[in-house]
Amino acid sequence: MHLMIIPDGDRRYATKYGLTLNQAYEKAAVTAYNLLKWSLIDNDINEFTFFGLSYNNVIKRKNKELSPILKAQTNAINSLAEDDLVHDNKIKVVICGQKHLLPKEYLEAVSHIEATTANYKKKKFNLLLGYSGQIDLEQAIQKTLDQEKKPVLENILPNCQVTNPIDFIVRTANEIRISDGPFFLTKYSEFHTIPTLFPALEKKDLDDALQVYKDRNRTFGV
- Span 108-139, pLDDT tens digits: 999 999 999 999 999 999 999 999 999 999 99
Position 184 scores a pLDDT of 80
Instruction: State mean pLDDT over 69-96.
Output: 95
Say what the pTM is.
0.94
Flag whether pLDDT at 222 surpasses 80: no
Position 17 scores a pLDDT of 97
**Containing H/E element for 48?**
strand 47-54
The CATH class of the 2-214 domain is alpha beta
Give the long-range contacts of residues 56-64, CB within 8 A, separation 24 or more: 56/132, 56/180, 57/130, 58/98, 58/101, 58/102, 58/130, 59/101
Q: Which is nearest to 5 in space by CA: 45, 32, 42?
A: 32
Residue 109: what are its φ and ψ, rounded to 5°?
A: -65, -45
Q: How confident is the model at residue 213 (pLDDT cuts 50, 70, 90)?
A: very high
- Rounded mean pLDDT of the chain? 94
Counted residue by residue, the chain has a size of: 222
Helices 63-81 and 21-37, axial angle in degrees (round to 10) = 30
- Span 152-193, pLDDT tens digits: 989 999 999 999 999 999 999 999 888 899 988 888 899 999
DSSP 196: S
Position 217 scores a pLDDT of 87
Beta strand 91-96 with 123-131 is parallel
- Span 15-48, pLDDT tens digits: 999 999 999 999 999 999 999 999 999 998 999 9
Q: How confident is the model at residue 203 (pLDDT cuts 50, 70, 90)?
A: very high
